Structure formats: C-alpha cells, structure tokens
Amino acid sequence: MAPIFITGSAGFIGFHLSKKLIENGYEVIGIDNLNDYYDLNLKLSRIKLLENISKRKNVNFILKKISLEDKKGINDIFETYKPKIVFNLAAQAGVRYSITNPNAYIQSNIVGFSNILECCRSIKVKNLIYASSSSVYGGNKLMPFKEDQTVDHPVSLYAATKKSNEIMAHSYSHLYNLPAIGLRFFTVYGPLGRPDMALFLFTEKILKNEPIKIFNNGDMIRDFTYIGDIVESLYRLKDKPAKGANEFDYKKPDPSISWAPHRIFNIGNSNPIQLMQYIDEIENALGKKAIKEYLPMQPGDVQATFADTNKLEKWIKFKPNTSIKNGVIKFINWYKEYYQY
C-alpha cells in the first residue's frame, strides 16, 4: 500500500490527521518547514507524539523538513515514495499576518501549491485533497455560505491565495485528469491547536489574569468546528476522490462542481455561535471570568461565518457531532496538562 503524503504534518490539522492514519495502520510521509510563525516547541511536541505512536503501532512515519517552495526537494520526495493520496494542509495561515507579511503567503500558498500540483501530475496521484478556507467568502453576506456562491471579493491576501489555489487545482483537474478536492475550512479548534487562534489566546490570557481582546466589540459569529470532526471527515475523504459531475451545466456553471474531477466542499460544524457565547464556555470550563477588552473590527476580518455543509455530508456520509461545550472542555484539559496549570 502506497504511503499517504501530508504537507504540514507538524501543523494543527496535519498532525491530527497523521495521528489517525498511523493509528489505523497507514504509512505517512509528512513534510513541514517547521517555521516560527508560532511556538516551534508545540510543533516538535506533535512530531514526538507521532513518532511514539508509529513505534507503538509498528507503522512508518517519515518527516522531511522542507518548504513547499523547494521545487526540487518536493519533487525528489514524490519520486521516491510515489504516494497515491496527497493531503496538502501546509500553508502560511492567518488573516491578520497576511497584512504585514504578504510575501510569505505568495511563496507558500501560491508558489508552493504549484509545486504540489506539478508533482501530483507527474506521478499520477489518485486523490489530492487540499486546504482552501472559509475566508474566500470575503464580502458575502448571504448565509449560510454555500459552495455555489461566487467568491470574487476577498478581504485579505490570505483569502485571495486560497481562491487562487482552487482555480489552479481546477486547471490541473481539467488538463491532466487530476482528481482534486478543495476544502473550505471553517474555524477549527481543539487540543494541540494553534496559539494564534481565539480559544488558545483566550485560555492563556484568562489563566494569566490578562485582558482578552474582543474585536468588533464582541459582535462576531463563528462556525467553530472541533478537530476530531474535521479529521473524521478528512479520513473518509481519502477513499472518495473527486469525479466529473454529469449534472454540470455549461450555461449556468456551479462553481463547486465541474466536468473535470474537481470538487469544492465547505468543511465546518454548520452550527455557528456568537463569540460571546464561546467565551462563556471557556470561562465555564476554566471556572474563571475573563477580563474583557473590547476593540473595533480588525482589517481583513469578517463579522460572521456560517457553513452549509450538506454537500460534504452527503459525499462522505458524516456530520460533525461534537458540541462546543465538550470541545472546549477537551481543549482546556489538554492545555492545563501541557502547560502544567
């Protein structure tokens, strides 16, 4: 059985997916550039966990430290291991960071993704699943967000690079019959999560008796999705590659499907909540009230996200089922153990 290739395997989602695959007997070839966008020690902890699980399960886990922009290096890995299933989860993340460091997004998310597409084409990969983002919906106000909406009005460079990925992948699906699925992730949270995300930041500040920053004066809505539900969806997708849609109408094209083997899916909880309710759940789990600092909307942010996930649920026969309360408790328990509170 060919190994499964995962970019960003030391990242939040990449780690959890790698963990599930290894636990189920799949060999994983991971790459990660181990950059310092956030705490490197957290990434190293994830890698150590994967190594320990792979030893216990007697399943190969190989991690290569390399950037997506390294065309020759990436190509050499593909030629050596010849994966048939590829998850591209590596990217320069963060909406606010894209405003001050735009070139990092062009290099990783555009140049890097083009290298992945070329490698997938050259060895005839059977299933490419790549990370897009709910950020592509940009200025859309009609909710819930559906995959057939136009996404031509991004409000951040990060969103623009993700929209670019969808277009790039479609061209390869058309030209080279490369099965590709783009996933528009909605806010993902859970144990070993990213330190730049709200749950991590709020928990840290509350425990340190420091104020938490609440943007748009708290008038924010997010479709928070627990990492376990995300990983279950990804795991099922590995066996469900994209196919050309017979129902595609050339006169009224649906952006989410194509005559080519390319699909776009929302991946989220489809159960949005107010940010203030989310903070309430964190306070309840910690048994401690937050010091709140209310601020205006940040450039590049959107006021609300809400996913219609019916298409993906039909595709993989799975619907996220972790409640916000239970998901937050699982994160808090991990956080206190990891940071010894």
Alpha helices, DSSP H, located in 216-262: 227-237
Residue 338 is among the residues annotated as catalytic for this protein: no
Number of domains observed in the structure of the chain: 1
Q: Is residue 326 part of a domain?
A: no
What confidence tens digit (pLDDT) does each residue in 202-218 have? 999 999 999 999 999 88
The answer to whether 27 and 81 have CB atoms below 8 angstroms apart is no
For residue 31, the enclosing domain spans: 4-189+225-270+307-320
What confidence tens digit (pLDDT) does each residue in 109-160 have? 999 999 999 999 999 999 999 999 999 999 898 999 999 999 999 988 999 9
Mean of the per-residue pLDDT values of the chain: 95
Quick one: tokens of 157? 């460079």
Q: Is residue 79 part of a domain?
A: yes
306 or 315, which is more confident: 315
CA angle (80 as vertex; 75, 82 as ends), nearest 5: 85
Q: Is residue 138 part of a domain?
A: yes
The alpha carbon of residue 255 and the mean position of all alpha carbons in its chain are separated, in whole angstroms, by 20
CATH number for position 129: 3.40.50.720
Q: What would the mean pLDDT of 17-21 be, rounded to a whole number?
A: 98
Res 303: pLDDT = 83
What confidence tens digit (pLDDT) does each residue in 38-63 have? 899 999 999 999 999 999 999 999 99
Res 188: pLDDT = 95
Alpha helices, DSSP H, located in the chain: 12-23, 40-57, 71-81, 95-100, 102-105, 112-122, 157-176, 198-207, 227-237, 275-286, 310-316, 324-338
Q: Is residue 230 part of a domain?
A: yes
Q: Is residue 28 part of a domain?
A: yes
Quickly list DSSP for 85-133: EEEE------HHHHHH-HHHHIIIIIIHHHHHHHHHHHTT-SEEEEE--
Res 225: pLDDT = 95
Instruction: Look at residue 97 and tell me whether its pLDDT is greater than 80.
Output: no
Question: Distance between CA atoms of 167 and 155, rounded to whole angstroms?
Answer: 18
List the catalytic residue out of 97, 105, 130, 158. 158
Quick one: tokens of 154? 């991004």
pLDDT-derived band at 180 (thresholds 50, 70, 90) equals: very high
Quick one: tokens of 25? 């007997």
pTM confidence score: 0.95
Q: Is residue 301 part of a domain?
A: no
Res 96: pLDDT = 74
Pairing of strands 291-294, 211-214: parallel
**What are the percentages of helix, strand and coil residues in the chain, rounded to 5?**
45, 15, 40
Q: What would the mean pLDDT of 317-340 be, rounded to a whole number?
A: 96
Q: Is residue 199 part of a domain?
A: no
Strand partners, 226: 189
Res 49: pLDDT = 98
DSSP one-letter code for 333:
H
pLDDT > 90: what percent of the chain? 87
Neighbours of 107 (CB within 10 A): 15
Instruction: Look at residue 288 and tell me whether its pLDDT is greater than 80.
Output: yes
Res 3: pLDDT = 95
**What Rg do the C-alpha atoms of the chain give, in angstroms?**
19
Q: Is residue 58 part of a domain?
A: yes
pLDDT-derived band at 95 (thresholds 50, 70, 90) equals: confident
